[in-house]
Chain A
Amino acid sequence: MRSAGPKPTVPVKGRPGLASRAWSVAAVPVVVIGLSVLLGAVIIVFSELLVPGHTFDIGLPVVAYSALVSGALGNPDAVVSTLVYSTPLIFGGLAVGFGFKAGLFNIGAQGQFLVGALGAVMAGVALAEVPAPIAIPLAALAGFVAGGIWGFIPGFLKAVSGAHEVVSTIMLNYVAVQLLAALVSGPLKVPRSPSPVTFDVGNAAFPVILGRNGHLGIALALLAAVFVWWLLYRTTWGFEVRAVGANPDAARYAGMRPKLITIATMTFSGALAGLAGTSVLLGVTHSMTSSFGTTVGFDSIAVALLARSNPLVIIPAALLFGGMRAGAGLMQIKAQIPVELVDVLQATILLFLVASPVLRRVLRVGRRHSGPTGVDTAATPAAGEAVAI
């Protein structure tokens, strides 16, 4: 799975130069992923002992991981499948990462994802018969706006009353789940259907542009990553976002309006998460069942942390997690390892990331080169620091 992550480089310690700098950027992610894979192998071996009637096979982790990798990268279809699974994670990672830059913890990507998908399905169903060049942008816009509304609420609450966004976004996640259940089993349900499911989005569905099922959303996600990078590092608003994230008081003293920035950041973050839901709805499912849910919102937090919120690094980080999702099916078939192993890998990656200050000390990776987040403006090192754990 390493190949999907940030490129590992030769560890050249103590020698300045490009290799050293690259290592200081990649060291923590590479070591974290390596440790997680190792821990997963240990768990597989030990769990074998607990399964009654199972013949012990010390090589099972190898079988499992090779199936995981071949399911993610083994052939062109698998690669496209990895891209498809990565798409919502890129949008979600950008959403969470953008919030981090302004010092906001958007735990609500989950809810914004669902509301974004709801917006997309409602618009998509309404526009199902309209020509695709009109239907697709409008349906995607609906998902973007719906997610934005769901992000605006906690941003607004924080700005006017100081309500902590972690609490309000988590609560809004539950509201989103119930809203979806009520709409899909109520007004959006196909009247004659025996089970709760919405109509198909028809012409509003993203066209397949790559291989068997690679939809337009993949390209949009990559463009979004570049756009968010440009926004953060090449525009005034991006500078203000990072300044507020670094030190709101200083930002206010410098004439910025932190409250306005907070609202705008949460809204934009929510809109990006809404696009994650939109990409799944218009690109993959094309309709919504009452079981439409996701782990993307929470996986996105891990993606953003792994990429240290750098919009461009979010792409490989999302590919890593998307690859694990894409490979999980083949792993279950070939090694009969439950899908929960992928959860274990993701969770250990996150845990090791939280412990990364310790890792940095062990690896003797300096803080001077704390990654691409820490180089270009006065405000960045601190903002980068705030998310680099």
Chain B
Amino acid sequence: MITRTTRLGLLAATLAIVASACSGAATPTPAAPSVAPSVAAPSVAPSAAPSVAASPSPAASTSAGAALKIGVVTDIGTLNDKGYNEYSYKGAQDAATTLGAATPPSIVPKDASEYKADIQQFVDQKFDVIVTVGFNLTSDTVAAAKANPTIHFVGVDQSPVCVDPTGAPDATFACKGDAKTLLPNYTSLYFAEDQAGYLAGIVAAYASKANIIGAIGGTTLCAPCVRYIQGYELGAKSVKPAIVVKSSYVTRDFSAAAFNDPAGGKIFADTFIKTNKVDVLFQVAGKTGNGVLEAACASKIYGIGVDVDQWTSLGAPANACVITSAEKHVESAVNQAITGIAAGNLAAGDVLFNAANDGIGASDFHDKASLFGPEVKTALDAALAAMKAGTLKTCPDTGCGVAK
């Protein structure tokens, strides 16, 4: 006989499994805030020539582009996450299309213990280019690059590359080795979030009537989040030197509250708006930030999205008060990196994506275009031109990515 307890227990077990499966990766995904660019063409980010390569890589690929076998190992989660994984993969797809190469397969790890094995799968299958997505894969990617000098590895957001003098990943982060020469087959793509934030700051300053604007970041430990907000402040002050910029971070660790808690983000933002009387609010907190935007819309103030064109990605009615988004173009960056490998001119080590190579931008105003006069577009274009020329400072002297 099946006992009552057995039935109950089994039911509970099944429910627990379902519940856990639904919640997905239980651990926080710090990659979340750094989601990627939108498919919608950003109006104010003119595309630049793919000038990724500074110097020809010594291990430049010898294989012709069309024969290139490209593989992608994402971080935990799903491929279609509307973020990092998805846009990195799209970038690889775009590159494969451009080069006439086969559609790149992807492997989505089930947990962190799989990173190494999944990269090895592509190595065993003799792939030429292996893209790994997110900083959690950094040390496994670097180790694989050292072990397989004939294969190109592209890491998304794994900067700064840190190796010991033998070229192995340095667990102590003393970073005594020179990754560029030790690992000529490894490139990490990173982004000038401060430049994207700067553009968002310009828009915010023009939109603000109270001359108090705000920004909410996920966690102080997320350097890209801090860079976004640092640029935002400088950008706003370039338009209105006297404007007040209030910023705050949801947490100081990498817990779920930082990037995966929309409800918590809404509550946090409600208090933030009431306390600081801001009338424009920039979210840099992934899904938590979606709650921030919700709070902004509910309080009848303007919101600014992050990483992708959130007006498009959120859709109506959640985008009702979104005036623009600060974008980083992961898709374009991965595409440029792979085509660079095919052309034999992708630089090794850390490669920065900024205004100069279409790595960042600000989104279209969409239905808020009537809010802004021609002077806003002029200011954005001028800032972009200055960024490209390298004459615009978008980080404070206290250091990029270091929270106050």
Contact = CB atoms under 8 A, between A and B. Distances in A.
Given A181-B28, A182-B255, A357 B2 contact: yes
A195 B2 CA distance: 50
B107 A339 contact: yes
Interface string A294-316: 11111001100000000000000
Nearest to A286: B171
B117 A81 contact: yes
B71 A333 contact: yes
A194 B221 CA distance: 8
Interface in A273-292: 280, 284-285, 287-292
A343 B105 contact: no
B110 A105 contact: no
Interface residues of B, number: 62
Given A182-B253, A285-B113, A291-B76, A336 B136 contact: no
Interface in B207-240: 221, 223
A48 interface: no
Contact of B112 (A192, A292, A330): A292
Contact of A336 (B5, B21, B105, B162): B105
A137 to B, nearest CB: 22
A185 B114 CA distance: 21
B256 A178 contact: yes
Contacts of A293: 25-27, 76, 111-112
A170 interface: yes
Contact of B30 (A285, A290, A332): A290
Interface stretch (B50-58, B119-127, B196-204, B296-304): B119-127
A350 interface: yes
A191 B170 CA distance: 13
B256 A181 contact: yes
Contact of A178 (B13, B116, B173, B255): B255
Nearest to B6: A386
A200 B117 contact: no
B112 A289 contact: yes
B20 interface: yes
A75 B107 CA distance: 20
Contact of B28 (A103, A199, A290, A301): A290
22 contacts: A77-B124, A84-B117, A173-B26, A177-B27, A192-B175, A194-B135, A280-B113, A287-B171, A291-B76, A291-B112, A292-B27, A292-B112, A293-B111, A295-B20, A298-B16, A301-B16, A328-B110, A329-B121, A336-B105, A350-B17, A357-B2, A385-B2
Interface of B: 1-3, 5-6, 9-10, 12-14, 16-17, 19-21, 25-30, 71, 75-76, 78-79, 103, 105-114, 116-118, 121-122, 124-125, 135-136, 138-139, 159-160, 162, 171-175, 221, 223, 253-256
A-B pairs with lowest CB-CB distance, top 4: A192-B173, A185-B254, A329-B121, A200-B171
Interface of A: 71, 77, 81, 84, 103, 105, 107, 110, 166, 170, 173-174, 177-178, 180-182, 184-186, 190-197, 199-200, 213, 280, 284-285, 287-298, 301-302, 325-326, 328-330, 332-334, 336, 338-340, 342-343, 347, 350, 354, 357, 385-387, 389
